[in-house]
Amino acid sequence: MSDGKPKLCANCGKLMGVVDECPYCGADNRKLGMRLKRAAGDGGAGASVTATFIGVNLLFFAAALLVGGAKPAGGGMEVLGADPEVLFRIGLQNNAAIDAGQWWRIITPIFLHMGLMHVVFNSYVLWWGGRLVEEDIGSRLMLLTYLSAGILGFIASYFAGIGGAGASGAVSGMIGFVLVRRRLVDGHFNHPITRTAIMYTVLTALLGLAVAVNDVAHGVGWLSGAGMAALLTKVNLGRRGAVALMLATWATTGVTIVAALFMTVSLFNGGPGDFTASIDCFIGPVQTVTLNKRVEARDVDKARACLREQASLESPANRARQQALEGLDALTRARDAGDTGGVQRGRDAVREAYEAWAAWAKEAGARYRRPKPLKSSP
């Protein structure tokens, strides 16, 4: 029954007067989904969040191809794949790196894809399911459903010892939501949308049997979306429940933004290739200077050259590099002046720099690990 006050339709955003059923789009504003939209201030039809997620997925995939170049087909969903090192640097899930402190790799893989077919398939299914969810419960709750399904899928993957990337846990959440929501509303499986959701569920399961994909992310993401559908359909949340969902949406969105910021900052700390070059330099020419009893000019020059070519890494490595360069310069000046004691002090400075670098490299290695071929999570 209407409360007698004119209001906007929560579905299309038009002024519908005092009635509960919108004369423009036919939406029944007494239903829970409509009440949640109104409580969230999320009126108006559209698929803005769905389109945004698809755009972000395609943008990151295109950027990875532009930076690292396309790789040959790797089988499964890795046709025209991106460079694994580039994907690693922009947030691929790598459990050793997560253990070493890069927690954001639980979230950023939602927006990364291993190959062309991977991103195309996920985008296609997201366009189908995301729009249905967004039109049903609104953009903000669709965002919560999508992100929570993706994050929970990668958390489960972490504990299962699986790495990789892909929006598939989040996309599976859309499929699970649509299927369960329609089944609970209709009371049967005969609705065309329900049948399509069943088809996608079966297709995803068969895909997991046919190629190497992350079935854990798929399953947990699907269950997360299905659970959200059951919550919104069967539980009388009321105003407090709607507010709690909005707070959860803001928290999830905030964590995702912070993860993106941490990933961006990490880009300035070098990548796996830079770490490998640092190893080659310190364990090669730099260590040679510290071990040989006689300081050869060619060894000092080689050490100085490779250090100067080093890319920026984490702060301890950068300090060790600078200390080693200063030690080599001091050693060279002392040698030219015939100062034996100065030569030894220079070597000691280089040795201290090497030891500081070695301690850092042992601790930081996991954060720079070049990933092995990993399972995608389409």
Domain chopping of the chain, boundaries: 7-40, 48-265, 272-368
User: Residue 91: what pLDDT?
Assistant: 92
Helices H, strands E: what count in the chain? 15, 4
User: Residue 169: what pLDDT?
Assistant: 93
Contacts of 361 (CB under 8 A, 6+ apart): 275, 278, 279, 282, 317
Provide the 8-state DSSP code for 286: I
| Phi–psi pair at 201, nearest 5 degrees | -65, -45
Q: Which two tokens stand for residue 306?
A: 């490779």
Contacts of 17 (CB under 8 A, 6+ apart): 6, 7, 23
| Phi–psi pair at 28, nearest 5 degrees | -85, 105
| Phi–psi pair at 313, nearest 5 degrees | -120, -155
Of all helices (H) and strands (E), which one includes residue 92? Answer: none
Q: Which two tokens stand for residue 156?
A: 């489960």
Nearest to 285 by CA among 297, 271, 274: 297
Residue with tokens 């050490």: 303
Are 180 and 113 contacting, i.e. CB atoms less than 8 angstroms apart?
A: no
Contacts of 156 (CB under 8 A, 6+ apart): 216, 217, 219, 220
Task: Give the pLDDT of the chain (378 residues) as one tens digit per residue.
Answer: 445 566 667 666 555 566 777 765 667 776 666 666 655 555 444 568 999 999 999 999 999 999 888 776 555 445 678 888 889 999 999 998 999 889 999 999 999 998 888 899 999 999 999 999 998 888 889 999 999 999 999 999 999 998 889 999 999 999 999 999 999 988 889 999 999 999 999 988 887 776 667 889 999 999 999 999 999 888 877 778 878 888 999 999 999 999 999 999 999 999 888 999 999 999 999 999 988 878 788 999 999 999 999 999 999 999 999 999 999 999 999 988 988 889 899 999 999 999 999 999 998 988 887 544 444 444
Tell me whether strands 81-82 and 15-17 are parallel, antiparallel or unpaired: unpaired
Beta-bridge partner residues of 213? 376
Query: Whole-structure pTM over 0.85, yes or no?
Result: no
Architecture of the structural domain at 48-265:
Up-down Bundle (1.20)
DSSP state string for 332-344: HHHHHTT-HHHHH
Nearest to 246 by CA among 75, 40, 104: 40
DSSP state string for 184-223: HHHSSS-SHHHHHHHHHHHHHHHHHHHS-B-HHHHHHHHH
Residue 316: CB atoms within 10 A of its CB come to 15
Beta-bridge partner residues of 71? 81
Amino acid 91 reads: G
Q: Which two tokens stand for residue 250?
A: 């803001």
Nearest to 256 by CA among 111, 367, 376, 85: 111
